[in-house]
Amino acid sequence: MLQNVIGDYVIMSLNDGYLCLVYNLGSGIFSLKSKFRMQRNIWHTVHLNRSQKSVEMVVDSVDSTSVTSPGRFFELTLGKDHVIYVGGHPDIDSMPREVNVDEGFQGCIRNLKIGKEDINLSRSHVDGRNVAKCSDVCAGEACMRGRCLENADGWFSCLSDSTTNSND
């Protein structure tokens, strides 16, 4: 278990459809849980904002939950060789029991930003475990007529095909 490891952590997970955050800055564990279940098979936007000991989690611009951590510490101190795991952890059994996670995330994660830095998950990963590849946003019949172009933000636009007859 991570209880043997001294250090701070931030863990976001899905539990029974609710987005959960478990956080420890060294003064104790605190947690947040979304008010609503995450609807499956649609994109969601999650903003996690932290200022000193206060944390706010906003889901889809409507579900806002906040908490202030206990104790005197307010800095998130990560070791010099810290690793950020997105989607899963290589040793799920080592997660703190408060996290209540027994498997990696199943779904797609796009447009990850930490601070002001955009993280390109397809280029910056070192290893992958328990995380399936996202489907192509332009797969299938995303654009019935014309060409589908994936935008930088993970969404798509349909460009009309000049060779397509509008009377079809």
* Nearest of 96, 91, 93, 92 to residue 7 by alpha carbon: 96
pLDDT in tens, 32-74: 899 999 887 777 888 988 888 888 999 999 888 888 877 788 8
Can you tell me the mean pLDDT for 21-27?
A: 82
Q: How many residues does the chain have?
A: 168
Confidence band, pLDDT 50/70/90 cuts, at residue 117: confident
DSSP annotation string for 73-96: -------TT----SS--S-GGGS-
Instruction: Mark whether 86 and 161 lie in a shared domain.
Output: no
Instruction: Mark whether 84 and 148 lie in a shared domain.
Output: no
Instruction: Mark whether 65 and 28 lie in a shared domain.
Output: yes
Domain count, the chain: 2
